Amino acid sequence: MEDKDFITSVVNNFIGGICAFRIDSIKRSIEPVFLNDGIYRMLGGGRAAVDMIFKDIRLSIIPDDMPVFEQGITDILADNGSAEMEFRIVNHDGSLMWLRLHGNLYSREGSENIAGVVILDCTEQKLIEEELKRQSDYMNLLMDTDITFDFNCRTDVCVYKIAQTDALKHDEVINGYMENIPATGIHKDDTAAFKEMLRSAMSHAHRDSIEFRSMGFFDHDDDYRWYRANIISIMGKEGYVAHVIGHIVDIHEDKMKEFELKLKADHDGLTGLLNKTATEELIRRILLNGAEQNEDGGALIILDTDNFKAVNDTYGHSEGDKVLAAIGGIISSNFKGMDVTGRIGGDEFMVYINNITPDDACRLAGKLGRAIRNAFTAEEYAGHITMSIGIATYPDHGTDFESLYEHADKALYEAKNSGKACYKLYGTF
């Protein structure tokens, strides 16, 4: 291949436009002298349609961008080096397109000037910048932090821009992002949901948000913090999602307050144990998600305070509350963190224990009954504060909450009928 043919081939296959324009410095007229094949591919139209645009490009430029274009022509004619400008045109199909133009003066003869120009399509980049700015402007009204990311769906590269303070700003680039999401320190329990959000955003135009935990990537904390990612899909010119961009905000303090409020809402204020709703919900979750993994099974225990009405009637409700609070403390101190302990009625309590045999459940119930009886040795309480206890075991007496509760309640009823202050295991009476 001759040198001339080689150069022509390179120019025509350049990804973008390589052009030459004749500019009259007096009339300010602009006329194309040469347009490479790349400019036709970039604008996506036939030669006649693209030629029509460049015959008088000013007719296609958005009026708001005309001052930028005219200043760019002035800079080219000044011949002080390369001039650059960005402006929007109405393309032949009616769509808006951002063009970035780099131009140099090539020759001058009187008022006639020849300029060499490179034109690139920067529509996608401008859309991303505009969306990030919209999100940033909105989120900065709410938060002091400024963390944005741009995930390129084609290259599987994500760029995080992290501004921890005005003085401390840096970029983090992650290649092979979908497989390396854990590199951002996202908690293993949140990784799958984060990936699914991105996959959904990549499949169609989409807005979404997710709350997740991360450690050490966005800040220097040695513990997990809560963040919220607000994301949006950016469509490419080809009609599919090219980028997923987002804004990440630190919501840790608000999340901690939310957990604190939920903790208070889930717990009984008098005894510190879970309330009825939270107790049942947690036991149902255990039975649904993992009770079968416990080789020794489990046990549901219902405890009812004997003669409690007499305590209230004799000593008053204030004294009765002290008794209930003390019982709650004894129950709490006799169980591990993985056990569920709750107050489900005025003087009624419930416990669910994982990994325990029926025999051990009975021994524990007996120990608990004795501890509560022995805690109230004052003359006015001695012998009056005792517990009747009913026990049902998983999976022998049921594999769901309703079955276990029904059988433990029947065992409790049998304990009451047997003189109180004792425990009964369902199926042994």
Residues acting as catalytic residues = 347
Q: 163, 195 in Cβ contact below 8 A?
A: no
User: Which three-class secondary structure state does DSSP give residue 123?
Assistant: helix
Sign, CA torsion 290/294/296/302: negative
Give the pair of three-digit tokens for residue 278. Answer: 């939270």
Contacts of residue 113, defined as CB under 8 A and 6 or more positions apart, other chains included, come to 22, 23, 24, 25, 76, 77, 105, 107
Separation between Cα atoms, residue 254 and residue 84, nearest integer Å:
46
Q: Give the neighbor-by-neighbor strand order of the sheet with 112-121.
A: 30-35, 17-24, 112-121, 96-109, 83-90
Q: What are phi and psi of 121, to 5 degrees?
A: -85, 115
- Helix count (H) and strand count (E) of the chain? 13, 16
Closest listed residue to residue 276, CA positions, set 354, 347, 352, 345: 345
